[in-house]
Amino acid sequence: MDKLPLGLALDLRKVVPYETGSWRTLMPVNIMQTPPCNQGCPAGNDIRGFLRVLAEKKDYEEAWHVLSRTNPLPATCGRVCPHPCEDGCNRRDFDSPLAINSAERAIGDYGLEENLEHKKLIASRKEKVAVIGSGPAGLSCAFHLAKRGFQVKIFEAYGEPGGMMRYGIPSYRLPNYVLRQELENIWKLGIDLECNIKVGVNIPMDQLIQSYDAIFVGIGAQTGLTIDIPGQDAGNVFSGVEFLREVNSGKYVDVGKDVVVIGGGNTAMDCARVAKRLGANVSVVYRRTRVEMPAITAEIDEAMEERVMFRYHTNPVKILQDDDKVVGILCVQMELKEPDASGRARPVPIPGSESVIPADTVILATGQAVDYDGIEVNKRDNKWIAANENLMTNVDGVFAGGDAVLGLETVSAAIGQGTRAASAIEDYVDGGVESRLSSPPVIYSKDLNTYYYNKKRRFQKEALPIHMRLKHFKELYPALDPEAIIDEAERCFSCGLCYNCGNCYMYCPDNAVKISPKTGLYEFDLDFCKGCGLCAKECPCHYIQMTLEK
């Protein structure tokens, strides 16, 4: 034994430190939680994931791969999504929510510019799946199945793929080239596409059921519903979907000088703004008020900016015509009474309040329905397709999703349904039982320690000035500045996921938070942690939580 210095009875270098971890009653753990944005995204995008990549690595390419893991159409969604994710953003209670939608668009645009390609998860398998309809639901289903190696074939009834994104969304919101480029990127996964084939008409449904292992029905709601008013079969009376399809197909539609749009949904707003761009004076006629309008608020605002007239409390009674040509529309004023089954106030006509609005074209954007021609499945409320929680219809092996199941919903909701259907189809084909982990609990602002965040202004995308908007169908929002988007991503709270602020590491009075040599992340040295909870309390994003000792 080495000789010890005078006065020492023990070699201090061989002494094991006193392990204070035995004092502990509560134990800190790192728990990744669900942020409200991810929770709110109908397409199931990992929003926090791509924002963190942008903020920490400033790497658009990786961010694109994170986003396109769930979403085949980021540039499209970045333009048309009404972003329910931003409604939940915990920054709402702090200053203002993140501009997630703009970030999504910037990432999507980067992917298109750089021609980034989707990655396949499994090279190939022999099972075949038919997808009916190439709208967002069908595309998303086909995309996820093709990534998992399935042989996918899409049947599209119209001349070009894209469904409502192609024929229903005007090109000032979603330019055609963006959609086309995104679609081409999806075809690279080896998906077959056959256009101008209407399943049930050109090809019987039974034939598909026999020759494919599974079928996904994503036919959307392509038929415009009209309301029952006299004169609706006059010339120059369109349904909303029909009008948008005509314009988006590149046909010239002569709308004349005055256009009246009936309805208050998103289709009505699109029709009104398209007609405005065709040079007409446009009035939107709606039975209730702005509050009850089902359209996205931003769309209504933009339509108002573009001088679309809104006539509330007004209901059409009769379309007036002169020699098969529309000349005006007879309307009656309404007053609102107690709410009906949908929760919206019930409009009742006021007697003797009739008036005439002059019109050269009338667009009835009063609802849409599924075109069931040749497709036989059970229905819900006699309108939409009935599907169980795995999105399977009453026919074995036939799945359905998107607007046809949900009723009128958003692109991202349809994408989400396609994703779910793809998983369900995989389980169905494999004969497996779905055993997916439920997502961890959602984090709300009360869980966060916002002391460590700084207030910062929200990114604001700039629309074209109004005098420039109405002359053409060019995109309303010009390209976004990638640097500004990275600044915006840095505002992300990173709710429920460590962002390396180092508070736990610096604040632990016992030095019990170490940097893991393997992963480089902070981890707890439970031999010494006394369980005081300081790290959990000072963790800005609630990633650290105290739990009972195991």
Partner 1 sequence: MKEQSKYLEGVDKKDLFSSGHRACGGCGQALAARLVADAAGENTIACVATGCLEVFSSPYPDPSWRIPFLHSLFENAAAVASGVDAAYKALKKGPVNIIAQGGDGSTADIGFQSISGMFERGHNVLYVCYDNEAYMNTGVQRSSFTPYGARTTTTPTGNTTRKKNMPMLAADHGISYVATATVDDFRDLQMKIRKALTIEGPKYIHILAPCPLGWGHHGELTVEICRLAKDTGLFPIYEIVDGKVTNVRKIPVKVPVEEYLKPQGRFKHLFKKGVPSKVVDEIQEIANQNIERFNL
Which residues sit at the interface with partner 1, rule CB under 8 A? 10, 12, 15-20, 23-24, 451, 500-502, 505-512, 515, 517, 520, 525, 527-528, 530-534, 536-538, 546
171 vs 503, which CB is nearer to partner 1?
503
CB of residue 8 to partner 1, shortest distance in Å: 8
Output b/e per residue, 171-186; b: 16+ Cβ within 10 A.
bbbbbbebbebbbebb
Choose among 215, 224, 173, 140: nearest CA to 399.
215
- C-alpha–C-alpha distance, residues 10 and 15, integer Å: 8
Minimum Å distance from CB 97 to partner 1? 22
Nearest residue (CB) to partner 1, 12 versus 548: 12
* Residue 47 CB, nearest approach to partner 1 (Å): 22
Backbone angles phi, psi at 60, to 5 degrees: -70, -30
**Termini Cα distance of the chain:** 41
With respect to partner 1, which residue has the nearer C-beta, 327 or 501?
A: 501
Concatenated DSSP letters for 432-476? PPP-PPPPPPBP-GGGS-GGG----PPP-PPPPPHHHHTTS---S
Minimal distance, residue 29 CB to partner 1, in Å: 15
209 HSE (CA, 13 A, CB side): 13
Q: Which is nearer to partner 1, 434 or 483 (CB)?
A: 483
Pick the closer one to partner 1 by CB: 16 or 291. 16
Show the CA angle centred on residue 277, arms to residues 276 and 279, nearest 5°.
70
Pick between residue 460 and residue 500 the one whose CB is nearest to partner 1.
Answer: 500
What is d(CA 116, CA 52) in angstroms, rounded to the nearest whole number? 20
Smallest distance from partner 1 to CB 38, Å: 23
Residue 448 burial by Cβ neighbours in a 10 Å radius (0-12, 13-18, 19+): buried
What CA–CA distances, in Å, run from 232 to 259, 326, 370, 447? 14, 9, 21, 56
Nearer Cβ to partner 1, position 252 or 451?
451
- In angstroms, what is the minimal distance from the CB of 486 to partner 1? 14
Query: Residue 55 Cβ, how far from partner 1 at the closest point, in Å?
Result: 11
- Distance in Å, CB of 453 to partner 1, minimum: 12
Shortest gap between Cβ of 119 and partner 1 (angstroms)? 26
Nearer to partner 1, 126 or 446 (CB): 446
Closest CA to 306 of 467, 475, 474: 467
Nearer to partner 1, 292 or 447 (CB): 447
In whole angstroms, what is the distance from residue 310 CA to residue 61 CA? 43
Three-state SS for 488-542 is: HHCCCCCCCCCCCCCHHHHHCCCCCEEECCCCCCEEECCCCCCCCCHHHHHCCCC
* Residue nearer to partner 1 on the CB measure, 264 or 531: 531
Q: Which residue has the tokens 């101008």?
A: 196
Partner residues linked to 187 by β-bridges: none
CB of 497 to partner 1, least distance (A): 14
